[in-house]
């Protein structure tokens, strides 16, 4: 069974601080997606990374896919209260798993003003 | 265009009852996936439908079932409800089926149906 482990599970920081969320697996994925979910809503896709070593930037968010395509990270620079939410990584296309996304447990981020 | 619509948004049932949840995908999307989200387990894949056919199924008991209609709308049913079935049930639609090695398609999620089993 493929698993994606996210760390940390909870993060509470002050506005302006930087943070990194990690998503690790022992399995190789063809692509990895990051979603953000706010209370009372469904997850919304932030980015998809496909190539090993790929780095994508979305304003203050930087996403990286590991060279071996087994892990990924999300770095937020100068966090703002609007960044508060649940961040989920999801792997696609792993071995024997071509039909569904495997989600990590999520990282709950709270950014205090 | 309208997003994914799930109904009902909230419902309360008692053990032993059954429940049916509905999902209307984004217009033009033919693939619908269902996920169960709980604080302890996170998002767990239930099943995926494309063109009225179940393409993939997660590791849930047979009490969980679903179907898709010709207009791509989907329903999921849970029979003989248990306390542990309390969760947020999320539906997601996409243009093409599966998220296999050739697919990096985005999933568009609805707001979910929050089920409480007493």
Q: In whole angstroms, what is the distance from residue B63 CA to residue B54 CA? A: 16
Q: For position A30, what pLDDT does the model report?
A: 85
Mean pLDDT over the full length of chain B = 90
With 50 as the cut, is the pLDDT of residue B101 above it? no
CB neighbourhood size of A45 (10 A): 17
Residues in chain A with CB shorter than 8 Å from the CB of B48 are 99-100
Q: pLDDT (tens digit, 9 = 90+) per residue, A6-55?
A: 999 999 999 999 999 999 998 888 889 999 999 889 999 999 998 899 99
Question: What Å distances lie between residue B100 and A73, B55, B60, B73, CA to CA?
Answer: 21, 12, 21, 22
| Closest-approach residue (CA) in chain B for A91 | B99
CA B116 to mean position of chain CA atoms = 16
Q: pLDDT (tens digit, 9 = 90+) per residue, A44-84?
A: 999 999 889 999 999 999 999 999 999 999 999 999 999 99
pLDDT confidence band for B100 (50 / 70 / 90): very low
Range scoring the smallest mean pLDDT among A69-73, A90-94, B25-29, B47-51: A90-94
Stretch B6-12: mean pLDDT, rounded? 97
The residues near B9 (Cβ < 8 Å, ≥ 6 apart) are B111, B112, B113, B114
Q: How many CB pairs under 8 A join A and B?
A: 77
- What are the structure tokens assigned to A40, written together? 């009372």
Indicate yes or no: CB of A92 within 8 angstroms of CB of B99.
Answer: yes
Q: Which of A41, A93, A104 is facing B42, going by the closest CB pair?
A: A104
Q: pLDDT (tens digit, 9 = 90+) per residue, B38-82?
A: 988 889 999 999 889 998 888 999 999 999 999 999 999 999 999
Stretch B79-100: mean pLDDT, rounded? 86
Q: For position A98, what pLDDT does the model report?
A: 55
């Amino acid at each position: 069974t493929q698993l994606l482990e996210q760390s940390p599970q909870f993060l509470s920081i002050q506005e302006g601080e930087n943070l990194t969320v990690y998503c690790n697996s022992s399995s190789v994925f063809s692509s990895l997606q990051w979603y953000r979910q706010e209370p009372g809503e469904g997850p919304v896709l932030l980015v998809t990374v496909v190539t090993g070593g790929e780095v994508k930037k979305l304003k203050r968010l930087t996403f990286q896919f590991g060279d071996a395509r087994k892990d990924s990270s999300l770095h937020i620079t100068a966090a703002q209260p609007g960044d508060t939410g649940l961040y989920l990584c999801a792997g696609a296309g792993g071995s024997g798993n071509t039909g569904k996304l495997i989600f990590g447990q999520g990282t709950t981020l709270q950014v205090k003003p | 265009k309208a997003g994914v619509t799930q109904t009902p948004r909230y419902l309360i049932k008692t053990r032993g009852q059954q429940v049916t949840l509905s999902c209307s995908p984004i217009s033009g999307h033919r693939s619908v996936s269902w996920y169960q989200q709980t604080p302890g387990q996170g998002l767990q894949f239930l099943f995926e439908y494309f063109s009225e056919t179940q393409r993939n199924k997660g590791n849930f008991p047979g009490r969980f079932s679903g179907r898709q209609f010709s207009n791509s709308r989907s329903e999921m049913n849970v029979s003989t409800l248990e306390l542990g079935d309390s969760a947020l049930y999320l539906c997601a639609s996409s243009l093409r089926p599966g998220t296999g090695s050739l697919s990096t398609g985005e999933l568009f999620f609805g707001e979910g149906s929050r089920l409480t089993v007493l």
